Amino acid sequence: MNNRKKALVFGLVTVGIWSTVASAFKIALTRLDPLQLLLMACVASIVALTGIMSFQGKLVELTRISRREMLRSALLGTLNPFLYYMILFKAYDLLPAQEAQPINYTWAITLSLLSIPLLGQKMSGKDLAAIFLSYFGVVVISTHGSPFTLEFSNLTGVGLALASTVIWALYWIFNTRSKADPLAGLLLGFLYGFPLILTATLLFSSLPTLDIPSMVAATYIGFFEMGITFVLWLTAMKYAATPDGGGTARIANLIFLSPFLSLIFIHFLVGEKILPSTIAGLGFIIAGNILMQYKSKAQKKTT
């Protein structure tokens, strides 16, 4: 199997797993509250990431991280997993999965918006159009196809889903400045985030009951949503970046399959009837994402 095929296989496997996590969230939240789920999933993720780094012989990387990078990892761990998943799980607790998942998918648009004040990037007319398309899609989904009435199915849930995109975008902006090994940095972030999650659980919830269904649900989310997919995606991009890999853009575009596949899993695993307004709104969101990524011929020559 050449690098092009390896990149495609790893990319498709990653997208396939990502497509199941919205359903996994809703199933897990029938037995656990958001903080309990986050606590158990974080433990599972730490175990998974430690195991992967041990298998790869990379645990020594943790000893090579500077004090400055340690402090950065503490900040990143506050954003992800603590704040991001706490807010995201609460949004999924309040909203149908078919609403929360597409809204969360607007994080790339949020990233572009935050890049203006934080990274000094400029906004073009194309960017404004992309932003309008994506957030119009959010309104279509959250009003069940009546965007001009502004009667949201659950305004708090929609607000939390949008807030999670801000946290996720901030995480990636600050993460771009990290010089640590990506996997080591992610594991450190979870290690720093765990005490915050445990404290919040003890203060505002209670320790979860360790029954088998809850443990299976939380472990699946911790292993796959928070851990293994990160490694699989990095591997796919690594193979794609080689001379015979076909290019990273080709693999990156696979991510547009995820939200549509996710709706299929939500329908069959969660039992939600997928509304036409969800599909229409998701179409607007995807169109906005594609438009935001599009570069004209002139732009391509200068990059």
Tell me: pLDDT of 294 over 90. Answer: no
Least reliable range by pLDDT among 118-122, 259-263, 282-286: 118-122
Alpha-carbon 227 to chain mean position: 11
Identify the pLDDT of residue 296.
Answer: 44
Most confident of 150-154, 218-222, 236-240: 218-222
Q: What are the residue ranges spanned by the domains of the chain?
A: 3-294
Cα dihedral 66, 232, 238, 88 sign: negative
Q: 276-293 vs 97-104: helix axis angle to the nearest 10?
A: 10
User: What average pLDDT does the structure give for the chain?
Assistant: 89
Most confident of 199-203, 206-210, 287-291: 199-203
pLDDT digits (tens, 9 = 90+) for 131-190: 899 999 999 999 988 887 778 889 999 999 999 999 999 998 888 888 888 889 899 999
Name the nearest CA neighbour of 87 among 156, 145, 137.
156
Identify the pLDDT of residue 302.
Answer: 41
Tell me: pLDDT of 9 over 90. Answer: yes
Identify the pLDDT of residue 147.
Answer: 82
